[in-house]
């Protein structure tokens, strides 16, 4: 009997998903420890207790206390962070019952929450964890004008409520071909449906933001009888207007990037640019905006809005002083998830360099996601999230020998 590629991947992911362990008291000994707070440590030690990092230092000055379980690795890094993906919503099987990353009934649905669809036990969650990924910003796919809200979650694989750390992180907006009604990423959407072109998309987005401003004014009415009924759409967009929940704006064409910046200025929005295949065409404008960029996957296919992508995009944005992070993103094919470890390795080889590439999937990503007080580096008091390798993490022949999340060790 032949086993197709999809089934083989499913079986492999199940084999890689180890039994869940409780948080342990661990001493991680690394030949090289990348703390992301300073220079790498040679013969470093990271002590973990109660799900947190207790201490970090060279072995010569930080002895391992009695009772700690010792785990050794050639290279130790902070747990890896995927700054934008759809894992847990776009499931492994690629069947309707496990594809919750997109709702096509309307162009603008900010009220949709990733937390209500996320499947912590999908094999792809275990798959990315097996490569050292401990945290993901996941949610609805960039295939609608406003597709919903993302969530930030640890890849424990327990339940959604146990694993989530930011239930409503960002509201996803897509400008360009992918944001058009029933668009396929290479051209306009289905005839007669809105938005059918870029002008309509921006007009619809502006109209909803203006309605949200009016909703806010009515909520502030002294006369309670004049206050509007609850509206989940406008409640969500209110958080964009007050800056408490940024818009994650996927825009790849240079005119869409500029439209995003224009709308952000008009409504005083806090946005995070996403994709930005044409970034090098409007680099001064991106830098002047001060907004960070979650760069398109280095290995994404270059057609349609992505035709100008460059493997050097991350390097050139970083060189210009633009804060960056890397992502697995979303494309409509199985297995529907990349691994940011490989994306960072490719970016490092294409001019970003080792240290900046590692930061783009650890400390830099944590800062952009607003979770750097918890994770993204190896320092006392941060979550005990680590990735262990038997060599240079960006070498193809290197293996992830263990992933630690909140002090829980997962070993393949």
Confidence of residue 331 (pLDDT cuts 50, 70, 90): confident
Bigger pLDDT: 162 vs 2: 162
Average pLDDT over residues 4-12: 49
Q: What is the pLDDT of residue 10?
A: 45
Look at residue 1 in the predicted model and tell me its pLDDT: 38
Give the closest residue to 128 by CA, choosing from 95, 64, 80, 172.
80
pLDDT of 17 higher than 80? no
Residues 6+ apart with CB under 8 A from 258: 282, 285
Residues 72-92 have a mean pLDDT of: 97
Burial 381-404 (b: 16+ CB within 10 A, else e): ebbbbbbbbbeebbeeebebbbbb
Element (H, E) at 165: strand 164-166
3-state secondary structure of 289: helix
pLDDT tens-place string over residues 149-159: 999 999 999 99
- Split at pLDDT 50, 70, 90, the class of 23 is confident
The rounded distance, in Å, linking the Cα atoms of 115 and 108 is 18
CA-to-CA separations, 346 to 120, 165, 315, 339, in angstroms, rounded:
28, 29, 11, 11
The confidence score (pLDDT) of residue 353 equals 98
First and final C-alpha spacing in the chain = 27
CA distance 324 to 35: 19
Domains of the chain (ranges, CATH numbers):
1-78+376-412 (2.30.40.10), 80-375 (3.20.20.140)
Average pLDDT for 80-86? 97
User: By the 8 A CB rule, do 146 and 117 touch?
Assistant: no
Please determine, for residue 94, whether its predicted confidence score (pLDDT) is greater than 90: no
Considering only residues 130 and 183, tell me which one the structure prediction assigns the higher pLDDT. Answer: 130
Per-residue pLDDT at 333: 73
| CA 205 and chain centroid, separation | 23
- Is residue 4 very low, low, confident or very high in pLDDT (cuts 50, 70, 90)? low
202-236 pLDDT, tens digit per residue, is 999 999 999 999 999 999 999 988 899 999 999 99
Highest mean pLDDT among 296-310, 327-341, 369-383: 369-383
Note the pLDDT tens digit of each residue in 225-282.
889 999 999 999 999 999 999 999 999 999 999 999 999 999 999 999 999 999 999 9
For residue 197, pLDDT beyond 60:
yes
């Amino acid at each position: 009997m032949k086993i197709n590629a999809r089934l083989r991947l499913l079986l492999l992911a199940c084999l890689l998903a180890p039994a869940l362990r409780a948080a342990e008291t661990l001493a991680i000994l690394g030949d090289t420890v990348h703390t992301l707070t300073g220079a790498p440590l040679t013969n470093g030690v990271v002590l973990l207790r109660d799900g947190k990092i207790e201490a970090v230092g060279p072995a010569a000055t930080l002895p391992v206390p009695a009772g700690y379980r010792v785990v050794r690795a050639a290279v130790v890094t902070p747990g890896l962070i995927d700054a934008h993906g759809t894992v847990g919503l776009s499931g492994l099987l690629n069947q309707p019952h496990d594809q919750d990353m997109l709702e096509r009934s309307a162009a603008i649905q900010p009220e949709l929450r990733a937390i209500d669809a996320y499947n912590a036990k999908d094999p792809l969650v275990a798959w990315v964890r097996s490569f050292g990924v401990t945290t993901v910003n996941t949610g609805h796919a960039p295939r609608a004008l406003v597709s919903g809200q993302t969530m930030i979650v640890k890849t424990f694989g327990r339940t959604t409520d146990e694993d989530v750390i930011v239930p409503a992180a960002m509201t996803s907006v897509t400008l360009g071909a992918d944001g058009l009604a029933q668009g396929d990423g290479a051209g306009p959407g289905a005839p007669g449906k809105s938005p059918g072109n870029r002008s309509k998309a921006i007009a619809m987005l502006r109209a909803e933001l203006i309605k949200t401003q009016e909703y806010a004014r009515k909520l502030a009415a002294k006369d309670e009888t004049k206050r509007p009924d609850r509206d989940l759409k406008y409640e969500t967009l209110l958080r964009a207007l007050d800056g408490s929940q940024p818009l994650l704006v996927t825009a790849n064409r240079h005119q869409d990037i500029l439209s995003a910046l224009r709308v952000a200025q008009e409504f005083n929005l806090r946005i995070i640019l996403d994709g930005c295949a044409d970034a090098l065409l409007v680099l001064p404008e991106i830098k002047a905006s001060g907004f960070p960029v979650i760069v398109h996957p280095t290995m994404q296919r270059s057609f349609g809005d992505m035709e100008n992508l460059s493997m050097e995009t991350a390097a050139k944005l970083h060189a210009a002083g633009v804060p960056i992070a890397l992502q697995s993103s979303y494309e409509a094919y199985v297995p529907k998830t990349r691994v940011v470890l490989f994306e960072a390795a490719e970016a490092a080889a294409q001019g970003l360099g080792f240290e900046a590439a590692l930061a783009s999937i650890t400390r830099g990503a944590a800062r952009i996601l607003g979770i750097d007080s918890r994770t993204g580096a190896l320092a006392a008091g941060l979550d005990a999230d680590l990735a262990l390798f038997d060599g240079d993490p960006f070498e193809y022949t290197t293996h992830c020998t263990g992933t630690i999340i909140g002090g829980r060790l997962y070993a393949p």
